Amino acid sequence: MTMIGWIQIALYCAVVLALVKPLGGYMTSVFNGERTFLSPILRPVEAGLYWIGGVDEKREQHWLTYTVAMLLFHVVGFLGLYAIMRLQAVLPFNPAGQSAVAEDLSFNTAISFITNTNWQNYGGESTMSYLTQMLGLTVHNFLSAAAGIALAVALIRGFARSSMRTIGNFWVDITRCTLYVLLPICIVYTLFLVWQGMPQTLGAYVDATTLEGAKQTIAVGPVASQVAIKMLGTNGGGFFNANAAHPFENPTALSNFIQMISIFALGAAMTNVFGRMVGNPRQGWAILAVMGVLFIVGVAITYGAEASGTTGLNALGLTGGNMEGKELRFGIVASSLFAVITTAASCGAVNAMHDSFTAIGGMIPLINMQLGEIIVGGVGAGLYGMLLFVVLAIFVAGLMVGRTPEYVGKKIEAREVKMAMLAILVLPLMYLGWTAVAVVLPSAVASMANAGPHGFTEVLYAFTSATGNNGSAFGGLTGNTFFYNLTLASSMFVGRFFMIVPAMALAGSLAAKKSIPASAGTLPTTGGLFVGLVIGVILIIGGLTFFPALALGPIVEHLAMTASTLF
């Protein structure tokens, strides 16, 4: 570890923190339906969209209506995306002449993009036409991100409101989020990326002759516009197979830094939206503090593990850390930091091969996802995931002050606990369950690139990443098989929607409750004690679930590595 490395990490944190308040304030106005500085331009567009869709923006929805609207929206999105992939060979904007995407791969990819996972069992430049990339994948990058944010806002309203039946209007929330938040930032961001050297063209792939005289086809395309939303919306699906390690998808150190910022920007700002909407910004800061502590610890461990390398290589005098699978342009710090960020948030873009990390270095991304991607997390999804844990933490420990537990003025009772538990239950069911199936199924085991604990981790990582809607791949595992296409798709689906529905039920039940004014007898939820408590509950309740699996994967691999046994 170096001082420069730590300064880079500190700088990163500082920039993210500095963005929290302005972005949070702006987003709060957007979701409260207030006028913003972009209203003069966007308001007519917004009104026009409602007119076309026949949406009455003044009419709010019950949580059930809201959820059904959200689900319908995703069904239509899924069908459209699946159709585009299956039909891309006959549709325009296909200069590379890509053929139709296979049925199971289309299914997996469609689920992957509507759930904000962007798990990629395909190589972008070798499978998808420009039309699929733009109209299919990029559009869903916007919509799945907007849906996540809308749902989080609905849950926040649940906490903020008192004795109300409604939690907002899904159509209005998703429209405003896309128009006022995602699009304007992405336009500026795309131009920045183009400036940094990222391609943005509808032209065909370029054929070049290398110095050795060999022919090489260089894939290009409308890259910058897709990368902007892929990062900002914590989608993570790369235009190219190599994702953010590809020079066209991450040309410079600056682009790398800004991409990292953009992964966290909206998720971190959502905590501020929460604080503002419940009437006490400190509530938001407390949640961000929980995320921040878990994040910094994760970065420190991964960075430490990668910087110290492996015992075997060190013994041979090959010190200087583990550079296997890392871009020389980024080095150990930026790769470690990127890996932790992309898994803490539900992004899944990668600029290094996580498979090649040391056992412990690769375990942190795994844990980040297993905790439910609540460390900043996916846009919106991170906040509602975190709030579910907060509900549990408050319930367990809140009793210790001698009152029925309350959080931001809402009593946490049977229904809230039930919904929080339901939402949290599905995660281990998917990733532990499918892993258990995969590791004893010979055909599934055959997909592993490595034997022993490392191979085990590859599978565990894949299902964890899918369930958490992260989409990053550990690498090594050949995922494009019938078995993995279907099981990973089911993990993504369950991981997204089986969490959303209880979270929305929670929003509905909270909104209907009275708000209780805080008193000296109320558990304070803005101080260090609360932050420590939530961290403890996350680590114990979350951590206990997957400790056996980790013991058999990265932990035993690490212990073996210290004895120079590799797998």
Partner 1 sequence: METLKLQKRVPVSAMLDSKIVIPAIGSAFKKLDPRLMIKNPVMFVVEVVAALTTVIFIKNVITGGSDLGFAFQIILWLWFTVLFANFAEAVAEGRGKAQAESLKKTRTESQAKLLTGSDSGDKSYRMVSGTSLKVGDVVLVEAGDNIPSDGEVIEGVASVNEAAITGESAPVIRESGGDRSAVTGGTQVLSDWIRVRITAAQGSTFIDRMIKLVEGAERQKTPNEIALNILLVGLTIIFVFATVTIPSYAAYAGGSISVVVLVALFVTLIPTTIGALLSAIGIAGMDRLVRFNVLAMSGRAVEAAGDVDTLLLDKTGTITLGNRQATAFRPVRGVTEQELADAAQLASLADETPEGRSIVVLAKEKYGIRGRDMAELSATFVPFTAQTRMSGVDAGGSSVRKGAVDSILAYVNGGASFAVASGNTVRAMQPAAMSDTAREIQAISDEIAKGGGTPLAVARDGKLLGVIHLKDIVKGGIRERFAELRRMGIRTIMITGDNPMTAAAIAAEAGVDDFLAQATPEDKLQLIRDEQAKGKLVAMCGDGTNDAPALAQADVGVAMNTGTQAAREAGNMVDLDSNPTKLIEVVEIGKQLLMTRGALTTFSIANDVAKYFAIIPAIFLAFYPQLEALNVMKLASPQSAILSAIIFNAIIIIALIPLALKGVAYRPIGAGALLGRNLLIYGLGGIIVPFIGIKAIDLVVTALHLV
Among the listed ranges 51-59, 257-265, 370-378, 516-524, the one in contact with partner 1 (CB under 8 A) is 516-524
By the rule CB under 8 A, 312 interacts with partner 1 = no
Residue whose tokens read 């960075």: 303
Separation of alpha carbons 530 and 139, rounded Å:
39
> Using CA of residue 64, residue 69, residue 74, residue 75, what is the dihedral sign?
positive
Q: Among 50-58, 66-74, 317-325, 409-417, which window interacts with partner 1 (CB under 8 A)?
A: 409-417
CA separation, residue 392 to residues 271, 286, 402 (Å): 18, 16, 16
Position 425 contacts partner 1 (CB under 8 A): yes
Q: How many residues bind partner 1 (CB under 8 A)?
A: 67
Tell me the closest approach of the beta carbon of residue 561 to partner 1, in angstroms: 9
In this complex, which beta carbon is closest to partner 1, that of residue 331 or of residue 453?
Answer: 453
Q: Which stretch binds partner 1 (CB under 8 A): 83-91, 241-249, 377-385, 412-420?
A: 412-420
C-beta closer to partner 1: residue 190 or 509: 509
Q: Does residue number 279 form part of the binding site for partner 1 (CB under 8 A)?
A: no
CB of 502 to partner 1, least distance (A): 11
Which region among 63-71, 100-108, 321-329, 400-408 touches partner 1 (by CB under 8 A)?
400-408
Burial code (b: 16+ CB inside 10 Å, e: under 16) for 54-64 equals ebebeebbebe
* Window 131-190: residues binding partner 1 (CB under 8 A): 162
Bridge-based pairing of strands 410-411 and 406-407 is antiparallel
Tell whether residue 544 is a contact of partner 1 (CB under 8 A).
Answer: yes
Is position 428 an interface residue for partner 1 (rule: CB under 8 A)?
yes
403, 450, 497, 567: which one binds partner 1 (CB under 8 A)? 403
Give the one residue of 39, 68, 522, 567 binding partner 1; rule: CB under 8 A.
522
Residue 237 CB partners (closer than 8 Å, separation 6+): 112, 113, 118, 120, 124, 137, 141, 230, 348, 349, 471
Which tokens in the block code for residue 542?
A: 């979350």
Between 130 and 484, name the residue whose CB sits nearer to partner 1: 484
Q: Report CA torsion sign: 480, 483, 489, 491.
A: negative
- Pick between residue 482 and residue 547 the one whose CB is nearest to partner 1: 547
Query: For residue 285, what are the CA distances in angstroms to 20, 345, 382, 395?
Result: 9, 17, 15, 20
CB of 541 to partner 1, least distance (A): 7
Q: Shortest distance, CB of residue 539 to partner 1, whole angstroms?
A: 9
Does 515 bind partner 1 (CB under 8 A)? Our answer is yes
Residue 209 β-bridge partners: 215
Nearest approach, Cβ of residue 155 and partner 1 (Å): 19
Rounded CA separation 355/567 (Å): 12
Does the protein bind partner 1 through residue 549 (CB under 8 A)? yes
CB 384 within 8 A of CB 419: no
Specify the residue, 5 or 433, whose C-beta has the smaller distance to partner 1: 433
Nearer to partner 1 by C-beta: 113 or 463? 463
Q: DSSP states of 331-398 as a string? A: HHHHHHHHHHHHHHTT----SB-GGGS-HHHHHHHHHHHHTTSTTTTSTTHHHHHHHHHHHHHHHHHH
Binding mask 359-398 for partner 1 (x = CB under 8 A): ---------------------------------x--xxxx
Under rule CB under 8 A, which residues in 52-111 are in contact with partner 1?
none
Please choose, from the candidates 481, 461, 460, 480, the residue with its C-alpha nearest in 3D space to the C-alpha of residue 471.
461
Residue 443's Cβ-count burial label (10 Å; 0-12, 13-18, 19+) is: exposed
Candidate ranges 114-122, 302-310, 486-494, 527-535; the one touching partner 1 (CB under 8 A):
527-535
Task: Rank residues 252 and 311 by Cβ distance to partner 1 and give the closer one.
Answer: 311
Round to whole Å and give the CA distance between 537 and 390. 8
Element (H, E) at 533: helix 528-537
Rule CB under 8 A: choose which of 432, 462, 488, 501 binds partner 1: 432
**Burial level of 204, CB count in 10 A (0-12/13-18/19+)?**
middle
Q: Does 521 help bind partner 1 (rule: CB under 8 A)?
A: yes
Report the C-alpha gap between 469 and 472 in whole angstroms: 9
C-alpha torsion 346→348→351→352, nearest 10: 110
Binding residues among 433-472 for partner 1 as defined by CB under 8 A: 433, 435-437, 439-440, 445, 452-453, 456
Q: How many CA atoms lie within 13 A of 231 on its CB side?
A: 29
**Contact residues for partner 1 (CB under 8 A)?**
162, 392, 395-404, 409, 412-414, 416-418, 421-422, 424-425, 428-429, 432-433, 435-437, 439-440, 445, 452-453, 456, 514-517, 519-524, 527, 529, 532-533, 536, 540-541, 544-549, 551-552, 555-556, 559-560, 563, 565
